Amino acid sequence: MSGSEFAVVDLFAGPGGLAEGFSSLRARDGSRPFRIVLSVEKDPVAHQTLRLRSFLRQFEGGFPAEYYNWLATGGSQPEWSRIYPDQWRAACDEALNLTMGVEADDALIERRLARIRQQYGDRSIVIGGPPCQAYSLVGRSRNRGKIDYVFEEDHRHALYKAYVGVLDKLRPAAFVMENVKGLLSSKAHGRSLFQQVLSDLRIAGGKGVGYRLLSLSAQAASADNPTPSDFVIRAEEYGIPQARHRLFIVGVREDLAANVDNDALEAARLERVAQVNVRDVLEGMPRLRSGLSRRIDNPEDWESEIIDAFASLAALQLKGPCSRTEVFRRTASDAMMSLKSANRALPRFDRSSSPPALGCPDELARWLGDDRLQSLPNHEARTHMLDDLRRYAFAATFGVAFGHSPKAGDFPRKLAPRHANWDSGKFADRFKVQIWCSPSSTVTSHISKDGHYYIHPDPVQCRSLTVREAARLQTFPDNYLFLGNRTEQYVQVGNAVPPLLASKIARSLHGLVVKGHSGISLHANI
């Protein structure tokens, strides 16, 4: 441990998006200002992903060759505990599969916190996001439909208190709490839950400690006197190719915050950058086809069915002026001819490595790419029913033709699903294509259920996004492997914090805590 290093405790860690961002920060001398010393995740599969990434971080000079060989060739995971026992032991010590709120697990976490405080003193940071299902607008809508559901009795809405409990025990220099926007409007016992969360965070740390709550958003009227909406960070404003709006509550311990002047607070705000679009990160990746579900799958049958789908679309009459139909038909015909002229049918997976598109901003391209990577992990298309593929073909063709996703009312009657509420307006975005020239819609864990909301923008591929494509939109590096089955991989990606955004938050926070400790900002040295 160096004298300038801060220990980071990652709670409700998921696959490690926040930790990836914080651990990536480097000072000019190459040292890590932030070192992840404890990550806690209850889901066993997400924990496996988290532990593997922790293991790889132990190699300061670069990931081991065995890792890249495994990604390239597939097969069983190498026996890391035998090949690199010290590094694997360190990873197992850091990444714990525990459930916060369970007495035995809480006792183990408390013992670890005591060790961290003994080793690092007050030079620690707490990061993480308590589960959001109880707060999210979608989750609340679903819960209202459940008989006997009582929000106040949902243990998930109180898990932020476990987070506050760690602040009480560790008294870190600062913390970052992430959550969904739905928390702003959540109520418990008729009172604003968000205001209660803010109040509990301000007085965390025990008697005489307390935290000053800050907003790092560029749009906030005041960094140190934020309104509730000022805590919302719109990821697409900071170089993330995704319209992801999440709460980030940053707290700096009061004794340190007293040493931070207004200029330092203003300098800590995130800097807006040019918008990054879907094309910038997905174009150029190996083209894939989906599988055909509920029947024997083979590429020739898939191609024949999709060509037939585009032939039907090329004869379709859309609502509105004739010019609109002409544009749509021409786009459908182009997709059909592209498939017909290909030398071979598209594969369902392609192990070829693919760097980000030429239009990708340098910062993001460097973040995602890895010259040692011989294959692109987690890039395999899933299967879809033929009826859905025809809808995907329509949606993607519509998106290319008009630059936006179709609503339910735009679909021809013969492509409408047999759903009683299809015409009600409640399912207007049931089939949503991502648009090349815009950031994607928010990647959530729902992508694991079906691909309807995450249709690939290329009509020729006629499928939903792969795990790797979703991970790129989330800014996970291409060498970040998600373990588990494909459904579990989608859930991990959807629940994560974009690592590149996390790294920018880490940079801002570092400037504040260093200023607070020394009165001299080292922000410029990073």
Q: Which amino acid is at 419?
A: H
Reported as a single tens digit per residue, the pLDDT across 19-53 is: 999 999 998 888 899 999 999 999 999 999 999 99
Task: Give which of 481, 518, 520 is closest to 66, Cα–Cα.
Answer: 481
The pLDDT of residue 148: 54
> For 316-338, what is each residue's pLDDT tens digit?
999 889 999 999 999 999 999 99
Domains and CATH numbers, the chain: 6-277+497-525 (3.40.50.150), 278-495 (no CATH)
Helix or strand or coil: residue 357? coil
pTM: 0.92
Q: Using alpha carbons, list the distances in angstroms from residue 333 to 344, 400, 439.
A: 19, 12, 26
- Measured between alpha carbons, how far is 40 from 47 in angstroms, rounded to an integer? 8
Exposure class string for 319-355: b at 16+ Cβ within 10 A, else e: eeeeeebebbbebbbbbbeebeeeeebbebebbebbb
Average pLDDT score over residue span 228-234: 94
Whole-angstrom distance, CA of residue 239 vs CA of residue 500:
8
Beta strands 34-41; 232-234: pairing state: unpaired
Mean pLDDT of the chain: 90
Q: What is the mean pLDDT of residues 3-22?
A: 95
